[in-house]
Amino acid sequence: MKILCILTNGFEEVEAIGTIALLRRSGLEVDVYTIHGTEATGKYQNTISKLHNLQDLDFNHYNCLFLPGGPHYRELEDNEDVKQVIKHFFDKDKYVAAICAAPTILGRMGYLKNKYYTCFTSMNEDFGGIYIDMYTAIDDKLITGRSAAAVIDFALLIIKTLQGDEKELEIKQEIYYEKN
């Protein structure tokens, strides 16, 4: 399974880096693309370099799209290339995972209609779906997370969905995950 992640300046570091690290730990291949060149600087001034330029993307090679939250969601939402990638993943019935502010992009594009989802609580609008007041939500191939605090649960849900219960349990054991 190959996962495509798209970042731009202002991404939420915990959501992006934490999720990517856990997905890679499980053996999933994650490629990170950016709108501007080959690096992106997060909300708290952490820069990730050696990224792929979105202009070079062939999104047909990916099974899942991952969109982290953070203030960068506005630029992602306004970018026509990003919208085309999102449209492709929904049109081709591929997995889409979004956390915090990023599900609102999907909502304003109409992809949360009649779906169970979660997002950063104060950003929830009437997207025509059913908002779940929990860390994570899944509806068919749509996986959403609420906030930076939900990163581990969000990443584990992606792992479970793409790789199964055994892999999820393996990763939980590796990181000593115990939820009360």
On whether residue 68 sits in a domain, the answer given is yes
**Backbone torsions φ then ψ of 154, nearest 5 degrees:** -60, -50
On whether residue 99 sits in a domain, the answer given is yes
pLDDT in tens, 152-172: 999 999 999 999 999 999 999
On whether residue 127 sits in a domain, the answer given is yes
pLDDT in tens, 14-61: 999 999 999 999 999 999 999 989 999 999 999 999 999 999 999 889
Residue spans of alpha helices (H) in the chain: 13, 19-25, 73-78, 80-91, 102-108, 151-163, 165-174
On whether residue 53 sits in a domain, the answer given is yes
On whether residue 179 sits in a domain, the answer given is no
pLDDT of the residue at 63: 96
CB 130 within 8 A of CB 115: yes
Over the range 15-53, which residues count as b (16 or more CB within 10 Å of their CB) and which as e?
Answer: bbbbbbebbeebebebebbbbeeeebbbbeeeebeebee
On whether residue 180 sits in a domain, the answer given is no
pLDDT of the residue at 180: 58
How many domains does one find in the chain? 1
CATH number at residue 77: 3.40.50.880
pLDDT in tens, 101-145: 999 999 999 999 999 999 999 999 999 999 999 999 999 999 999
On whether residue 103 sits in a domain, the answer given is yes
pLDDT of the residue at 59: 86
CA-CA distance, 102 to 144, in Å (whole number)?
9
The residue range of the domain holding 62 is: 2-174
pLDDT at residue 179 greater than cutoff 80: no
On whether residue 8 sits in a domain, the answer given is yes
